[in-house]
C-alpha cells in the first residue's frame, strides 16, 4: 500500500517528488558494518522535506557506534542514535530536516560490527513542497505556484508585499478563482494578513471582493495539501493613497459614518451600549494617520458593575454573580427581624451602575433593611407598681440602665433607643444599657454601650418642670435583634384626639413594686388608660408635651426606677397589630399607687420630626 501511495504522488501534476528511505532490513533489524547513503534533491522552486517516522538504533555516547547522519549544503543537520518516538521526532528533529530551495539532503547510515539487541533501524518519508517565499515591492501580480496550470501540491507560500509610506496595498483577485474546498470547508486556502487584521481564509470558486488593506506591509499566505487539480488564483496588487477603515477600536461607533477616511480626517468615537471608556468620558476624537492607523485609540471596556457594598443585615441572593452589562442581582435581609424597604432587583446598565426597574440607582439610602417593630414573642395579661412579671420576649423593646440613675428605655431600631432626658442628663459616658432579658441579673442579657446621648434642646434640668423630657441614645454598634430583643414602633403621626386613642396601654419597667421603693429584679408590666386634664395637684408645670395615665383603682402605676420606660398601645393582650410607643415614663407624685394619683408621660408623637432629623444627622 505504501508503494502504491508513492506511485500516486509521482504521477501527480506537480513536478514535486516523494518517496521513502529506510535502513536495510527495516523493521526486522539491520546488519553489522553497514555504510549506506542517499542523496535526494528538490526541483527548482521547491524544497525537500524529510520526515522521520521511526528511529531505533543502538545508543552510544556521541553516536560513535551506530548513527544516522543528515546534512545539507556541507553541514550536518542531525546526528541521531538511540530510540525516539514519532512525537519526539516531530517536536525536536523533523522541523529542521529541510533543504534549501532547489537543494539536496544527504542521508547516511553507519553501523559498527554488531547489533546484539536487534534494533529495528529507521524509516523516513520525503516530499518536495513548493517553495514560494518571496518579498515584493510596488505593484504586480501574484499567481498560485504552477500557474497557468493546476497549482502545486503541498505548497507553503508566503509572499511579503510592501509599498511606500503614505500608501496602502490594494488587492484585487482577477480571472479564475479555484481553490479546493469540500462542503464549504477549506482544504487549500489563500489568506491575507496585516499587523492588525486578517482577511480570509478564501477558497472555493467564488472570487473574493477587493481588499483595502489600510496597511503598508501585507503578507499573502497560500497552502495546499497533497491532492487535487484546482487552477488556483491570480492576485493583482499595487499602491493606493492611504486611508483608514471605519474601525477605530472594538465595540465602538464613529461619526461621521463613512466607508473609508482620508489621511488627516477626524472622527468622534463612542462606545457601543454596554461598553465604557476607562476614564468614564463618553467619547474621544481620533485622526487618520499616514500609516493607515488611527490616533488616538482607546479601549471600550465592558461596563462591569462593582458589587454594591452591603452593610449587615442586607445580603445578596446570588453567590458570585456576574457583574457585566445586563446581568442582574437581587438583595434581601438576612433575618426575618428585618423588612426590605425599597428596590430589591437591579440590572447592570451601560454606565456601570446597578439600576432598578424604576430607573433608580442602587443606594443604601433608598434600599435598606428596616427592623421589624412592635412585635413580641408572646402575649399575656397582667396588672410596675402592682404589676406582674413579664416573660422573656413579651416586651422585647424594654431596656434597662442601672447606673448612675436606674431607669428604662425603649429600643426603636437596631442602633437607637429613646428614653427620658432626666434618666441620662448626668453626663457620665458611655452608659451601658441592657436588654434581651426580664431578669436584671441574668447572665444572658445583651449589653449595649452608648456612642451618643442626645437630649432634647428644650429640656432644662435646672428648672422645676419636666417639659421636653425626652432623649435619644445611639449605640456604638448594631444591636443583634432576636425574638428577645426587638424595637417598638413609633407613632405614625400626631393624633388629633386622645394620645392613647381611647385604648388601654401597657407600661413596663424595673422600678419599685411597692411604696417601699424597692427596685424590682424582674421586669414588671401593667395596663393603664389615659386621663384628661391634670393627674394630681402639683406646683410643677404641666405642658402639652405630657399626658396623664394610670389605673382607676391605684393598683397599677409607674414608679421610681421606671423613668424613661415605655408606654405602648394596645395593651399586651392585643397583639394583632404592631405595638406603638405613645409615652415615656416621665414624672409623678411622691408616692406610687395612690388611687387619686396618676403619672405623667412624655407625649412621643409631639417629637416625631425631631426624632427623625436627629437620627438622620447622627
**335-353: pLDDT as tens digits:** 999 999 999 999 998 878 8
Q: Which residue has the higher pLDDT, 461 or 547?
A: 547
Predicted confidence (pLDDT) at residue 382 exceeds the cutoff of 70? no
DSSP β-bridge partners for residue 339: 370
3-state DSSP call for residue 558? coil
Mean pLDDT of 511-522: 65
Predicted confidence (pLDDT) at residue 575 exceeds the cutoff of 70? no
Beta strands 284-288 and 416-419: pairing type?
A: unpaired
CB-based burial, 97-115: b 16+ in 10 Å, e otherwise? bbbebeeebbbbbbbeeeb
314-371 CATH, one of 2.60.40.10, 1.20.1050.10, 3.40.50.2300, 2.10.70.10: 2.10.70.10
Mean pLDDT of 473-481: 95
117 belongs to an annotated ligand binding site: yes
Place of cell 547516511: 108
Predicted confidence (pLDDT) at residue 171 exceeds the cutoff of 90? yes
- Rounded to whole angstroms, what are the CA distances from 149 to 13, 92, 233, 248, 396? 9, 37, 10, 42, 98
| Dist. CA 449–CA 247, nearest whole Å | 63
Predicted confidence (pLDDT) at residue 1 exceeds the cutoff of 60? no
Beta strands 300-302 and 294-295: pairing type?
A: unpaired
Where are the CATH 2.40.10.10 domain residues in the chain?
388-612
66 belongs to an annotated ligand binding site: yes
Alpha helices in 285-437 (DSSP H): 421-424
| Dist. CA 3–CA 66, nearest whole Å | 28
The predicted structure's pLDDT at residue 425: 85
Q: Domain 244-302, CATH 3.10.20.30 — does that match?
A: no
225 belongs to an annotated ligand binding site: yes
Report which secondary-structure segment, H or E, holds 2.
helix 2-10
Third-level CATH fold of 131-241: Jelly Rolls (2.60.120)
Where are the CATH 2.10.70.10 domain residues in the chain?
244-302, 314-371
- How many Cβ atoms are within 10 Å of 579's Cβ, its own excluded? 26
Alpha helices in 39-192 (DSSP H): 86-92
Predicted confidence (pLDDT) at residue 75 exceeds the cutoff of 80? yes
270-320 tens-digit pLDDT:
998 888 887 778 899 999 988 888 999 999 888 888 888 888 899 999 998
Where are the CATH 2.60.120.290 domain residues in the chain?
2-127, 131-241
| Dist. CA 492–CA 608, nearest whole Å | 9
CATH top class, domain 2-127: mainly beta
180 belongs to an annotated ligand binding site: yes
Find the range with the poorest average confidence among 27-36, 142-151, 507-516.
507-516
Confidence of residue 107 (pLDDT cuts 50, 70, 90): very high
576 belongs to an annotated ligand binding site: no
Predicted confidence (pLDDT) at residue 520 exceeds the cutoff of 80? no
318 belongs to an annotated ligand binding site: no
Predicted confidence (pLDDT) at residue 565 exceeds the cutoff of 60? yes
Mean pLDDT of 240-263: 90
The predicted structure's pLDDT at residue 512: 61
65 belongs to an annotated ligand binding site: no
Residues above pLDDT 90, as percent of the chain: 58
The predicted structure's pLDDT at residue 597: 64
The predicted structure's pLDDT at residue 351: 79
Longest Cα pair distance anywhere in the chain, in angstroms?
137
- Among candidate residues 8, 7, 15, 13, the one with its CA nearest the CA of residue 128: 15
Find the range with the poorest average confidence among 2-16, 285-299, 307-321, 379-393.
2-16
What letter does residue 502 receive in the DSSP assignment?
T
The CATH classification number of 388-612 equals 2.40.10.10
Amino acid at each position: 500500500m505504501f508503494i502504491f501511495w508513492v506511485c500516486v504522488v509521482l504521477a501527480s501534476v506537480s513536478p514535486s517528488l516523494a518517496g521513502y528511505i529506510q535502513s536495510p532490513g527495516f523493521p526486522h533489524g539491520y546488519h553489522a558494518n553497514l555504510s549506506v547513503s542517499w542523496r535526494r534533491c528538490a526541483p527548482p522552486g521547491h524544497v525537500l522535506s524529510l520526515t522521520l517516522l521511526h528511529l531505533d538504533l543502538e545508543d552510544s555516547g556521541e553516536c560513535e557506534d551506530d548513527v544516522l547522519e543528515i546534512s545539507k549544503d556541507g553541514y550536518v543537520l542531525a546526528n541521531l542514535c538511540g530510540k525516539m518516538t514519532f512525537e519526539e521526532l516531530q517536536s525536536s528533529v523533523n522541523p529542521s530536516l529541510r533543504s534549501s530551495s532547489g537543494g539536496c539532503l544527504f542521508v547516511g547510515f553507519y553501523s559498527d560490527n554488531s547489533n546484539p539487541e536487534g534494533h529495528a533501524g529507521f524509516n523516513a518519508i520525503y516530499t518536495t513542497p513548493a517553495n514560494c517565499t518571496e518579498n515584493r515591492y510596488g505593484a504586480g501580480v501574484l499567481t498560485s505556484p504552477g500557474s497557468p496550470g493546476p497549482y502545486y501540491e503541498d505548497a507553503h507560500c508566503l509572499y511579503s508585499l510592501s509599498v511606500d509610506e503614505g500608501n496602502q496595498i490594494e488587492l484585487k483577485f482577477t480571472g479564475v478563482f479555484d481553490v479546493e474546498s469540500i462542503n464549504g470547508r477549506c482544504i487549500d486556502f489563500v489568506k491575507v494578513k496585516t499587523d492588525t487584521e486578517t482577511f480570509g481564509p478564501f477558497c472555493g470558486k467564488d472570487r473574493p471582493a477587493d481588499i483595502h488593506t489600510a496597511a503598508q506591509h501585507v503578507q499573502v499566505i497560500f497552502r495546499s495539501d497533497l491532492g487535487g487539480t484546482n487552477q488556483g488564483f491570480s492576485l493583482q496588487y499595487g499602491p493606493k493613497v492611504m486611508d483608514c477603515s471605519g474601525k477605530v477600536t472594538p465595540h465602538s461607533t464613529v461619526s461621521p459614518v463613512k466607508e473609508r477616511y482620508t489621511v488627516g480626517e477626524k472622527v468622534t468615537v463612542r462606545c457601543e451600549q454596554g461598553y465604557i471608556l476607562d476614564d468614564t468620558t463618553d467619547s474621544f476624537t481620533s485622526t487618520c494617520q499616514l500609516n493607515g492607523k488611527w490616533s488616538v485609540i482607546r479601549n471600550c471596556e465592558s461596563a462591569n458593575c462593582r458589587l454594591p457594598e452591603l452593610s449587615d443585615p442586607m445580603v445578596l441572593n446570588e453567590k458570585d454573580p456576574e457583574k457585566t452589562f445586563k446581568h442582574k442581582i437581587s438583595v434581601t435581609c438576612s433575618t426575618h427581624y428585618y423588612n426590605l424597604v425599597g428596590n430589591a432587583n437591579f440590572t447592570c446598565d451601560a454606565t456601570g451602575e446597578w439600576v432598578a426597574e424604576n430607573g433608580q440607582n442602587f443606594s443604601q439610602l433608598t434600599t435598606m433593611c428596616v427592623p421589624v417593630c412592635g412585635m413580641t414573642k408572646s402575649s399575656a395579661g397582667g396588672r410596675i407598681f402592682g404589676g406582674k412579671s413579664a416573660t422573656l420576649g413579651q416586651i422585647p423593646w424594654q431596656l434597662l440602665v442601672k447606673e448612675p440613675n436606674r431607669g428604662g428605655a425603649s429600643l426603636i431600631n437596631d442602633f437607637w433607643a429613646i428614653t427620658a432626658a432626666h434618666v441620662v442628663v448626668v453626663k457620665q459616658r458611655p452608659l451601658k444599657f441592657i436588654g434581651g432579658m426580664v431578669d436584671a441579673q441574668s447572665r444572658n442579657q445583651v449589653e449595649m454601650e452608648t456612642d451618643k446621648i442626645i437630649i432634647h434642646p428644650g429640656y432644662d434640668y435646672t428648672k422645676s418642670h419636666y417639659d421636653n423630657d425626652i432623649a435619644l441614645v445611639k449605640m456604638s454598634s448594631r444591636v443583634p435583634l432576636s425574638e428577645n430583643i426587638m424595637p417598638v414602633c413609633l407613632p405614625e403621626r400626631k393624633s388629633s384626639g386622645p394620645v392613647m386613642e381611647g385604648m388601654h396601654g401597657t407600661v413596663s419597667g424595673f422600678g419599685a413594686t411597692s411604696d417601699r421603693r424597692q427596685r424590682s429584679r424582674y421586669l414588671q408590666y401593667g395596663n393603664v388608660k389615659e386621663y384628661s386634664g391634670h393627674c394630681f395637684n402639683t406646683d410643677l408645670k404641666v405642658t402639652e408635651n405630657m399626658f396623664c395615665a394610670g389605673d382607676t383603682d391605684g393598683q397599677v402605676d409607674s414608679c421610681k426606677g421606671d423613668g424613661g420606660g415605655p408606654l405602648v398601645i394596645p395593651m399586651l393582650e392585643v397583639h394583632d397589630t404592631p405595638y406603638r410607643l405613645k409615652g415615656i415614663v416621665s414624672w409623678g407624685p411622691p408616692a406610687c399607687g395612690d388611687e387619686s394619683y396618676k403619672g405623667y408621660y412624655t407625649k412621643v408623637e409631639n417629637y416625631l420630626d425631631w426624632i427623625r432629623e436627629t437620627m438622620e444627622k447622627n
